[in-house]
Amino acid sequence: MKRIATIITSNWREDPRLTSGYAALKSKLIFDLGARNKQVGWKLGFGSPTGLRNLEIDAPLVGYLLAENALPNGATVDIGNWVKPVGETEIALYFGRDVPPGSSQAFVMDSVVAIGPAIELADLEFAPTDPTEILATDIFQKHYILGDRDESRRSGDISGLAAQIVKPDGSEVVVTELEELIGALPTIVTHGADVVGELSGGIKSGEFLIVGSIVPPIALKPGDHFAFTLGNFPALSVYF
Q: List the domains of the chain with CATH numbers.
A: 12-239 (3.90.850.10)
CA separation for the pair 174, 34 (Å, rounded): 42
Judge whether 9 and 3 are in contact, CB under 8 Å: no
Q: Work out whether the CA dihedral 61, 139, 126, 237 comes out positive or negative.
A: positive
Q: pLDDT tens digits for 2-55?
A: 443 444 557 899 999 999 999 999 999 999 999 999 999 999 999 999 999 999
Please state, in angstroms and rounded to a whole number, the distance separating the CA atoms of residues 228 and 163.
7
Q: Which tens digit of pLDDT belongs to each residue from 84-110? A: 999 999 999 999 999 999 999 999 999
Single pTM value for the model: 0.95
User: CB under 8 Å to 115, separation ≥6 — which residues?
Assistant: 91, 92, 93, 94, 149, 150, 153, 156, 157, 158
